[in-house]
Chains A and B, each alone.
Chain A
Amino acid sequence: MSPQPFFQVQDLTTVFETREGLIKAVDGVSFDLAEGETLGLVGESGCGKSVTALSIMRLVPQPPGRIESGRIIFGGRDLLQLSEEEMRHLRGNDISMIFQEPMTSLNPVFTIGDQVAESFRLHQGMTKSQALKASIEMLHQVGIPSPEKRIREYPHNLSGGMRQRVMIAMALACRPQMMIADEPTTALDVTIQAQILNLMNQLKEEIKTTILLITHNLGVVAEMADKVAVMYTGRIVEYAPMEELFDHTAHPYTLGLLHSLPPAATEEMKDRLETISGIVPSLLDLPSGCKFHDRCPYAFEPCPIEEPPFYRLNNRHLVRCYKYKGFA
């Protein structure tokens, strides 16, 4: 028997009861992470990345949302079975989350110092003055200039990049074993994004945090991730080590995404961009069979009939596409 992975999501399904009907925002998602590893979860808007993260943290708004099934194994326990009390303890102590929009997760009426210090006090049992000192040190570490002055400021006085760094400082204040970062740099300019990604990479080396990194940016994935899960309409369609995913891309959707990117400014120019035809279907009105078949240039007879299972191209590369039927 192989050893239990550090973190594992098994067959997670999360649904929303909307006015128009029931939608499965996350449908049978499974992945795992070894300690210190970074998994990139990529896909286009609405494919279920954030709902996956919220489900892991048990923060899905309920109603309208509900985790329908699945297991989330961490530290030998199934997080979906924990009491609300146990879950509260886990959030922040063991798993921290950085949200897509930093402003919504910082409290506007407290100073930066209060908020970072609060994390230290809650999770490491420090006194007020200890926590304040530790906060200044942490803000310095995440690259905030003159942190001893900044701690007296309020979130709205900071730029987007600064706020995101404060969020990271707060997430790290408790030395979490695991961090979930939902589009941590999407709202930022490229030069600031580069700073934050550098910082996250540095911290990864220093404190060996395991990271679930959610992004729609394949460039960010190539720079940060050890392995990648590509999502489409609530499902994972391809799952592979990062280099394998880019060098031996298997799923037609992943290929389509990669080809739609404008070539990097340092690469050979193209005359035209390749495109994926059509648009992402509504979760209320999904096509039959493979959910990508009506946009797929490779679709053939079985595709509209039944959803393909995962085929295993090798030990670590899984793909949900009938093109690979020959593989077990």
Chain B
Amino acid sequence: MTPLLELIDLEKNFKVKASSFRRSRETLTAVNRVNLEIRSGECLGLVGESGCGKTTLARLIVRLEKPSKGRIIFDGQDLSNLNHKDEMIFRRRVQMIFQDPYSSLNPRKTVGSIIGESWRIHSLGNSGERREKVMELMEEVGLRPEFYSRYPHEFSGGQRQRVGIARALSLNPDLIVADEPVSALDVSIQAQVINLLKDLQSKFNLTYLFIAHNLSLVRHVADCIAVMYLGQLVELVPKELFGKVHHHPYTLALLASIPIAKPGAKKKAKPLLGDVPSPINPPSGCTFHPRCPEQVEVCHTIPPELREVSLNHCISCHRR
């Protein structure tokens, strides 16, 4: 089966000011030669720490950013040469849910008009029909229809995230890119929104790219887990194999760092040393080597390639 979304050698560079003193600009590689596939109806979970390029990758896919190199293929079509009509179709089929339910909704619009906005833009239906559809969607995501004329500030974080989800669903998309959709929410609300996303996925046969920094959460929602470090994918592993195979040292470090809500669950592994290096001047060789407990000489000089170490399990590491 051909994948719904395919990223081929995707790269994004930004020109940044190196320091406040120097005038010169340097290149920051936010996304570095990423290759990835998502099959229709699947959920791919992308994890990594802040600044590793997760959000840039999401913005490239929904075309809020232009790739510097590489290609994005959606449903067999290369996105770099879309005509206007195809562009409009693409914009309907791919939707995004944002991290911050507070700033991603227009405070001066009612919830009803936020959710129905895309139909208005695409001139679908008359106002009565649109109103009815909005009410249906609100029901679908667990918002009471009486809330139709209320404003975002009258809602809790979890409710606002539901508004964002309803808005993303309004045009019957195929792919939803959700960038940290629950990290701003309290645990009890997080669980409600996660369950909702899962229910909607099976009901509408949605494909998800689910981005989060919480590995436990990603494993819970995803069919396949991608781990990112300094703009590169370091591991790609199907959920069934997770925890049963020899993981990348960075994945192991992430696993060991998560505090577990069980007394005595504490792992003996030492935490990683140091901070994530700057993506402006990444370390030579394998960019993880300065923090890697397993590094050997070759890691300092030669960047490892992402390769299939066993069926469906890819790793970029000289030691695996």
For A261, the chain B residues whose CB sits under 8 A away are 187, 191, 216, 261
Q: Mark A102-113, 1 if CB is under 8 A from B, else 0.
A: 000000000000
B254 nearest CB neighbor, chain A only: A190
How far, in angstroms, from A275 to B256 measured CA to CA in the complex? 26
How far, in angstroms, from A261 to B274 measured CA to CA in the complex? 29
Contact A190 B258 (CB under 8 A): yes
Interface window among B83-91, B262-270, B304-312: B262-270
User: Which of A145, A263, A275 makes the CB contact (< 8 A) with B274?
Assistant: A145
Given the contacts A216-B187, A258-B261, A264-B262, A275 and B192 also touching, CB distance less than 8 Å: yes
How far, in angstroms, from A262 to B258 measured CA to CA in the complex? 12
Q: Mark B224-261, 1 if CB is under 8 A from A, else 0.
A: 00000000000000010011000000000111111111
The answer to whether the Cβ of A142 comes within 8 Å of any Cβ in the partner chain is no
Contact A260 B261 (CB under 8 A): no
Given the contacts A191-B49, A194-B271, A264 and B265 also touching, CB distance less than 8 Å: yes
The answer to whether the Cβ of A130 comes within 8 Å of any Cβ in the partner chain is no
Contact A265 B195 (CB under 8 A): no
Contact A260 B259 (CB under 8 A): no
For B220, the chain A residues whose CB sits under 8 A away are 262-263, 269-270, 273
Contact A272 B198 (CB under 8 A): yes
Contact B275 A44 (CB under 8 A): no
How far, in angstroms, from A197 to B260 measured CA to CA in the complex? 13
B152 to chain A, nearest CB (A): 15
For A219, the chain B residues whose CB sits under 8 A away are 258-261
The answer to whether the Cβ of B190 comes within 8 Å of any Cβ in the partner chain is yes
For A217, the chain B residues whose CB sits under 8 A away are 259
The answer to whether the Cβ of B281 comes within 8 Å of any Cβ in the partner chain is no
The answer to whether the Cβ of B39 comes within 8 Å of any Cβ in the partner chain is no
Given the contacts A189-B50, A265-B219, A272-B195, A246 and B254 also touching, CB distance less than 8 Å: no
How far, in angstroms, from A1 to B271 measured CA to CA in the complex? 44
Contact A198 B217 (CB under 8 A): no
How far, in angstroms, from A217 to B258 measured CA to CA in the complex? 11
- CB-CB contacts below 8 Å: B189-220 with A: 189-192, 194-195, 198, 213-217, 219-220
Contact A220 B191 (CB under 8 A): no
For A260, the chain B residues whose CB sits under 8 A away are 187-188, 190-191
Contact B215 A198 (CB under 8 A): no
- CB-CB contacts below 8 Å: B128-183 with A: 156-159
For A269, the chain B residues whose CB sits under 8 A away are 219-220, 239
We find that the number of chain A residues with CB closer than 8 angstroms to chain B is 46
Given the contacts A262-B220, A263-B216, A276-B188, A198 and B271 also touching, CB distance less than 8 Å: yes
For B191, the chain A residues whose CB sits under 8 A away are 260-262, 273-276
How far, in angstroms, from A189 to B215 measured CA to CA in the complex? 12
Contact A262 B219 (CB under 8 A): yes
Q: Mark B2-22, 1 if CB is under 8 A from A, else 0.
A: 000000000000000000000
Contact B271 A191 (CB under 8 A): yes
The answer to whether the Cβ of A247 comes within 8 Å of any Cβ in the partner chain is yes
Q: Mark A20-31, 1 if CB is under 8 A from B, else 0.
A: 000000000000
For B261, the chain A residues whose CB sits under 8 A away are 218-219, 221-222, 246, 258, 261, 264
A42 to chain B, nearest CB (A): 10
4 pairs of A and B residues whose beta carbons are closest in the complex: A219-B259, A194-B271, A260-B191, A194-B257
Residues of chain A at the chain B interface (Cβ within 8 Å): 44-45, 145, 159, 161-162, 189-195, 197-198, 216-223, 242-243, 246-247, 256-258, 260-266, 269-270, 272-276, 279-280
Q: A219-B260, A280-B186 are in contact. List 10 more A-B contacts (CB 8 A).
A: A44-B187, A159-B275, A189-B276, A193-B257, A223-B259, A262-B220, A265-B215, A265-B258, A269-B220, A279-B159
* Sample (22) of A-B pairs whose CB atoms are under 8 Å apart: A189-B49, A190-B49, A190-B213, A190-B258, A191-B254, A194-B259, A197-B259, A198-B271, A222-B265, A223-B260, A246-B262, A247-B263, A260-B187, A260-B190, A262-B191, A265-B219, A265-B255, A266-B260, A270-B220, A273-B191, A275-B188, A279-B189
